[in-house]
Amino acid sequence: MIELEGSCPLANTATRRKPLNSTAASLLGFLHEGPMSGWDLVSMAQDRIGDFWTITQSQVYRELGTMDATGLVEKGETGARERTPYRITDAGRAAFLEWIARDPGGETIRVPLLLTLSFGEHLDRTHLDRIITANRDIHQQRLTRYLGEDCTGMAPHQRATLEFGIGYERAVLDWFDRLPELLSD
């Protein structure tokens, strides 16, 4: 191999690679469990993190294409039902480890109900009450689902995430219970 002065033929790809976004990183995290198709990854994301992190089907396929092009995943042979499995590469594992070791920073809270409620004076009270009731029902259903989870064999980090979800939903439901008083004139 001929090496030009001042160049490094095996330059560290980690220094040239742009940092992973959270969507790509979560997909790599799931792929640690084995090869999966885009459909499998969408389903897993909805099941495991869908209540606190939104990933759309289009994002999954876009990220898989980008990660395949950059060598973080390898595309397998298309199989049954036209599903193509992807597997994580060593470069993907390294990129994931780099991402997971970073400080995640503060969260950004985006609650559509709170946005609507902040402008609630522009809504008919009956309509606002329907919106509030529908949203309360969503949180009650989530809490019921979380409380019904079988924690047997669940990894401690997943259990901790579930416990956060349970505490969060209980706090939100408590807020809903106090909301009539908070909204009274």
Domain membership of residue 124 (yes or no) is yes
Query: Which residues of the chain fall below pLDDT 70?
Result: 1-17
Question: Based on the domain organization, do 127 and 93 belong to the same domain?
Answer: no
Say whether both 54 and 86 belong to one domain: yes
Identify whether 8 is part of a domain. no
Tell me the pLDDT tens digit for each residue of 169-181. Answer: 999 999 999 999 9
* Same domain? 95 vs 49: yes
Tokens of 102: 């970073």
Q: 74 with 129, same domain?
A: no
Residue 4's region, left for phi above 0, alpha for psi from -120 to 50, else beta, is beta
Q: What is the pLDDT of residues 136-150, one digit of tens each?
A: 999 999 999 999 999
Q: Which domain holds residue 178?
A: 112-183
- Domain membership of residue 128 (yes or no) is yes
| Contact of 38 with 55, CB cutoff 8 Å | no
Please count the structural domains in the chain: 2
Asked if residue 77 and residue 143 are part of one domain, the reply reads no
Domain-embedded: residue 174:
yes
Of 68, 100, 132, the residue that ends a domain is 100
Same-domain check for residues 118 and 143: yes
Residue type, 158: Q
Note whether residue 53 is domain-resident: yes
pLDDT of residue 13: 44
Q: Does one domain contain both 50 and 122? A: no
Counting Cβ atoms within 10 Å, is residue 119 exposed (0-12), middle (13-18) or buried (19+)? exposed
Q: Which of 50, 66, 100 is the last residue of a domain?
A: 100
CATH code of the domain in which 81 resides: 1.10.10.10
